[in-house]
A = this chain, B = another copy of it.
Amino acid sequence: MNLSDAETLLAVVRERSFSRAAEQLRRTQPAVSLAVRRLEEACGERLLDRSSKQPRLTGAGVLVTRRAEQMLRQRAALEHDLLELRGLQRGKLTVGANESTAFFLLPLVEAYHARWPEVKLEIRRSLSRNIPAEVLSGDLDLGVVAYDPEWHDLNAPIVYRDRLAFIVYPGHPLAGARRPVTLARLGAERFIAHNVVSPYRDFTVSTFRRLGVPLNITVEMPTIESIKQLVARGLGVAFVPRISAARELDAGILHEVPLHQFRAERPLRLLSPRRGVLSHAARAFADLAQPLAADAVRYTKKVR
């Protein structure tokens, strides 16, 4: 059984004539006759009674047309689905990020969702080092990491440059500092740190050690959000990715203090499979990330 033959049968029924059906389908009349015959042979039943003036459906013909209509409806629905998918009125997109890079995604998610509300966008927390493999395996459509995986089958363009910001609460003695502060002056501070191993944390610990400055970590918290809250309440100071504290810094809830001798800047990269198929939804996300990234780069440069 063949969809185009089914279409032909329906045309014959609709037009009540083989020749008119042929005309409408831009075929010749024998082609229509043969199509109907093919169907009849496939079904082992006569589908049209040609004995009277107008072709009439037989009982079997009624069954066949009913099912054929269903099938063609499915095909039409599929075409519609695909159009939607292409127009991003449908689809699913899973982006992997770890806790700190997730902050970078927030404004992107917002923009993406505003533009294409019908695409289901999922940000999946994942261990930074697993993300490349997950992108490659297809578990993730895209990934955001703070390092270059240097895998030949992954694209990993830089989409953002973030840096660690040293934050304090507004009443802190350093809060108003205009000029960069030396790291040595932080030896007396009580630090609130992330209890997850990350490149940022490693860098911080090793830099302090190198300069012989004591790093006094008094509290460890599982999320950046909780770290910011503690800092805002004056319980300590912290290093956090700047993007993750942007809102609080703007609002004056937290203050950033510029530092000498400490520059923890990491480019964020958007990982996508080089060979695999990027969905329309993923491509749109990447396209959206690019200009936003440019802005972000300019912004961080200006501030720095």
| Nearest CB in chain B: distance from A261 CB, A | 45
A56 to B82, CA, bound (A): 18
Residues of B contacting A60 in the complex (Cβ-Cβ under 8 angstroms)? 82, 85, 279
Please determine whether B82 and A51 come into contact, CB atoms closer than 8 angstroms.
no
- Give CA–CA (A137, B43) in the complex, Å: 24
Q: Do B85 and A77 have beta carbons less than 8 Å apart?
A: no
Contact mask A83-108 → B, CB, 8 Å, 1/0?
00110000110000000000000000
The CA-CA distance from A49 to B85 in the complex, in Å, is 17
- The answer, among B3, B56, B277, for a CB contact under 8 Å with A1, is B3
- Does A177 make an interface contact (CB < 8 A)? no
Query: Mind listing 15 A-B residue pairs with CB under 8 Å?
Result: A1-B78, A2-B2, A43-B78, A45-B82, A45-B85, A46-B277, A51-B273, A52-B136, A52-B138, A60-B279, A63-B78, A63-B82, A63-B85, A67-B75, A67-B78
Given A59-B281, A71-B71 in contact, is the A52-B276 Cβ separation under 8 Å? yes
Q: Give chain B residues whose Cβ lies under 8 Å from the Cβ of A92.
A: 59
Among B44, B77, B81, the residue within 8 A (CB) of A82 is B44
13 additional contacts (CB under 8 A) given A52-B138, A63-B81, A70-B71 = A44-B82, A49-B276, A51-B153, A51-B275, A51-B277, A52-B136, A59-B91, A59-B92, A64-B78, A67-B81, A70-B70, A70-B74, A71-B71
Q: How large is the interface on A (under 10, 10 to 19, 20 to 34, 35 or more residues)?
A: 35 or more
Chain B residue contacts of A91, Cβ below 8 A: 59
Q: How many copies of this chain are found per oligomer?
A: 2
Q: Give, as a whole number of angstroms, the nearest-CB distance from A64 to chain B.
A: 6
Q: A45 contacts which chain B residues (CB < 8 A)?
A: 82, 85-86
CB distance from A74 to the nearest CB of B (A): 5
Chain B residues whose CB sits within 8 angstroms of the CB of A280 once the complex forms: 59
Closest 4 CB pairs of A and B: A51-B276, A67-B78, A51-B275, A46-B277
For A91, the closest partner residue in chain B by CB is B59
A58 interface contact, C-beta 8 A: yes
Complex Cα–Cα for A64 and B86 (A): 14
In angstroms, how far is the closest chain B Cβ from the Cβ of A132? Answer: 13
CA distance A67 to B77 in the complex (A): 8
What CA separation (Å) do A279 and B62 show in the bound complex? 12
| The one of B1, B49, B81 that contacts A75, using a Cβ cutoff of 8 Å | B1
